[in-house]
């Protein structure tokens, strides 16, 4: 297919791409051609160029087997890695470019296995036919730069539609993770899923259970960090996939929020997620986004019908934190991510005890200390959690939180809140009490820390006097 079929902007993108990468792809294409092998730029690399997005990662495909690829590029690449070689992929770096060169292949799942079986192919057309979506099934043969698009990916790109190259049932049966990828690409690219493909996702949703938790986590994380997560999450819920990979999300759909009776908690959650994204300063913040998504997952289990038709969700933040920790652990998220997200879920209602600003300085110090390194994210989550349509109420909440942040800033300047410690360290406590390291020192440290939070800075002498009095009351000093 000729590049003349492309729009003017797409031809410009291609020209810009080749201006940048010509030294790499031309050399590589000739290197393979001289040895009688095919190689082509493929998949997301071609798609992104046509969308006007040029990164430093290049995906290529070849009829050469992995061992041959290693031999061909050994003296050409600046560095090589083989972590994906079992799946036919060899990684390489050439200058600032990162390349993944994958042997033509097809892959499918045994119904009883969580791992795909990789079968090598012999033609570029065969390789493109087994790719997930037509927009990812376009290629540029090298070194001649022939544009190959056997499945109408360019038309789909123009229409912003996700469609499988062949029957979606066969595609999803070969690799069920592609159903999640459809939702992920809807989030990342803002594309819709064509009706036949979506119908197959719905009919085959339970097939996703054969896929490993790690692969599911990777897709969900990319979806949440995409430019349009609402669209991606909507595809998950509407297709029934969410019931298998993130059941807490559809579980929110009919749980009416007592503060926002005009919408269910599912809709409220999506709005909170969008508002949290609006508060991001340096690109996608996965911790903040996951906390926004999970902040109300404790409501279904804590829902109570009260007299007068009122609905309550007492302690849903505590229950939600436990649910969040369990779900994210099962999805194999790193421990620090699990801890941070579940902690934000636990703390997201703390501000509402502030009332009209009645908190003492001690309470403000505790708020800061409990949030720790998550304080800035807690500020954003708390603000995002206001979805009332009552403008006066929303403005009042915003002013109150402004006041809290101002108090935090003032106390931080006066006392370095982020570094609050007791006025006596462990060695000083041991010397005053005359006891060796052990549980008593830990209890004394906690006492002094609580006093520091309640009373602020009182000086070492006063702190030592208070410590002695505490020790006498608790039978440590006689």
Task: Tell whether 120 and 206 lie within a shared domain.
Answer: no
User: Is the residue at 306 inside a domain?
Assistant: yes
What CATH number did the domain enclosing 225 receive?
1.10.110.30
Q: Is the pLDDT of residue 438 over 90?
A: no
Share of the chain above pLDDT 70, in %: 90
Q: Is residue 260 domain-resident?
A: no
Share of the chain above pLDDT 90, in %: 52
Q: What is the per-residue DSSP string for 437-454?
A: SSHHHHHHHHHHHHHHHH
Segment 86-108 mean pLDDT: 89
- Write down the pLDDT at residue 258: 47
pLDDT tens for 167-217 read 999 999 989 999 999 999 999 999 999 999 999 999 999 999 999 999 999
Are 74 and 143 contained in the same domain? yes
264 within some domain: no
Stretch 395-418: mean pLDDT, rounded?
78
Residue where a domain stops, chosen among 92, 123, 158: 158
pLDDT at 243: 97
Is residue 20 included in any domain, yes or no? yes
Question: Are 129 and 205 contained in the same domain?
Answer: no
Judge whether 273 and 247 are in contact, CB under 8 Å: no
Q: Are residues 290 and 345 in the same domain?
A: yes
3-state SS, residue 389: coil
CB 118 within 8 A of CB 105: yes
Indicate the residue among 110, 127, 158 that finishes a domain.
Answer: 158
The answer for residues whose C-beta is within 8 angstroms of residue 296's C-beta and 6 or more apart is: 252, 257, 265, 268, 269, 272, 313, 316, 320
Same domain? For 239 and 281 the reply is: no
140 and 14 within one domain: yes
Q: Report the chain's mean pLDDT, rounded to a whole number.
A: 88
Q: With residue 57 as reference, give the H or E element that holds it.
A: strand 57-62
Residue 247 has pLDDT above 70, yes or no: yes
Average pLDDT value for residue range 420-436: 85
How confident is the model at residue 221, as a pLDDT?
97
**Do 408 and 426 share a domain, yes or no?**
no
Q: Tell me, what's the pLDDT at 254?
A: 62
Asked whether residue 405 falls in the same domain as residue 429, the answer is no
- Position 272 pLDDT exceeds 50: yes
pLDDT of 45 over the 90 cut: no
Instruction: Find the domain containing 70 and state its range.
Output: 3-158
- 31 and 152 part of one domain: yes
- Specify the residue for token string 């402004």: 402
Asked whether residue 181 falls in the same domain as residue 44, the answer is: no
* Residue 309 belongs to some domain of the structure: yes
User: In this structure, which long-range contacts are made by residues 386-393, counting pairs with CB atoms below 8 Å and at least 24 apart in sequence?
Assistant: 386/275, 387/260, 387/263, 387/268, 387/271, 387/272, 387/275, 388/259, 388/260, 389/262
* Triad 209, 215, 217: Cα angle to 5°: 90
Angle at 89 between CA 88 and CA 90, to 5 degrees: 130
Q: In the chain, how many domains are there?
A: 4
Closest to 369 measured CA to CA, from 417, 328, 303, 302: 417
Mean pLDDT confidence for 25-46: 93
Is the domain of 238 the same as that of 302? no
Domain-located, residue 251: no
CATH number for the domain that contains residue 71: 3.30.460.10
Q: How confident is the model at residue 218 (pLDDT cuts 50, 70, 90)?
A: very high
* Whether residue 410 sits in one domain with residue 311: yes
Better-scored residue on pLDDT, 334 or 364: 334
Between the alpha carbon of residue 129 and those of residues 81, 84, 148, the distances in Å are 27, 21, 12
pLDDT at 1 over 50: no
Residue 54 has pLDDT above 60, yes or no: yes
C-alpha distance from residue 24 to each of 38, 140, 279, 378 (Å)? 16, 14, 40, 46
Residue 478 in domain: no
pLDDT band at 10 (very low <50, low <70, confident <90, very high): low
Residue 442 predicted with pLDDT over 50: yes
Global pTM reads 0.81
Instruction: Place 14 in a pLDDT band, splitting at 50, 70 and 90.
Output: low
- Write down the pLDDT at residue 405: 87
Domain edge (last residue) among 158, 192, 218? 158
The whole-number average pLDDT for the span 286-296 is: 97
């Amino acid at each position: 297919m000729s590049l003349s079929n492309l729009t003017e902007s797409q031809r410009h993108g291609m020209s810009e791409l080749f201006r940048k990468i010509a030294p790499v792809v031309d050399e590589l294409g000739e290197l393979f051609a001289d040895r009688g092998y095919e190689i082509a730029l493929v998949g997301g690399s071609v798609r992104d160029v046509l969308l006007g997005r040029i990164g430093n990662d290049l995906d290529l495909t070849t009829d050469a087997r992995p061992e041959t690829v290693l031999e061909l590029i050994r003296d050409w690449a600046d560095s090589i890695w083989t972590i994906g070689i079992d799946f036919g992929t060899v990684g390489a770096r050439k200058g600032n470019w990162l390349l993944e060169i994958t042997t033509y292949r097809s892959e499918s799942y045994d119904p009883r296995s969580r791992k795909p079986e990789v079968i090598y192919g012999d033609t570029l057309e065969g390789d493109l036919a087994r790719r997930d979506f037509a927009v990812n099934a376009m290629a540029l043969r090298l070194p001649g730069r022939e544009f190959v698009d056997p499945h109408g990916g360019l038309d789909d790109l123009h229409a912003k539609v996700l469609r499988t190259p062949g029957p979606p049932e066969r595609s999803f049966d070969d690799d069920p993770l592609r159903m999640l990828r459809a939702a992920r690409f809807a989030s990342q690219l803002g594309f819709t899923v064509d009706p036949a493909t979506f119908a197959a996702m719905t009919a085959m949703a339970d097939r996703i259970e054969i896929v490993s938790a790690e692969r599911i986590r990777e897709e969900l994380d990319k979806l949440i960090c995409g430019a349009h997560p609402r669209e991606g999450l909507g595809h998950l819920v509407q297709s029934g996939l969410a019931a298998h990979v993130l059941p807490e999300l559809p579980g929110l759909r009919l749980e009416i929020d007592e503060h926002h009776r005009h919408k269910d908690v599912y809709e409220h959650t999506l709005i909170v997620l969008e508002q949290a994204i609006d508060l991001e300063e340096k690109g996608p913040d996965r911790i903040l986004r996951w906390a926004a998504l999970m902040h109300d997952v404790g409501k279904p289990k804590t829902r109570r019908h009260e007299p007068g038709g009122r609905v309550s969700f007492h302690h849903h933040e505590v229950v939600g934190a436990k649910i969040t920790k369990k779900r994210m652990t099962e999805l194999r998220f790193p421990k620090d991510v699990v801890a941070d997200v579940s902690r934000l879920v636990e703390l997201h209602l703390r501000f509402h005890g502030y009332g009209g600003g009645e908190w003492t300085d001690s309470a403000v110090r505790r708020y800061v200390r409990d949030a720790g390194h998550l304080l800035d994210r807690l500020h954003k989550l708390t603000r995002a959690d206001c979805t009332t349509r009552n403008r006066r109420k929303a403005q009042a909440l915003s002013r109150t939180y402004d006041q809290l942040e101002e108090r935090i800033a003032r106390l931080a300047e006066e006392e370095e809140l982020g570094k609050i410690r007791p006025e006596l360290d462990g060695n000083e406590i041991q010397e005053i009490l005359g006891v060796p390291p052990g549980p008593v020192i830990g209890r004394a440290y906690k006492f002094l820390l609580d006093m520091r939070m309640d009373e602020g800075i009182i000086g070492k002498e006063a702190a030592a006097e208070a410590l002695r009095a505490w020790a006498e009351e608790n039978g440590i000093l006689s």
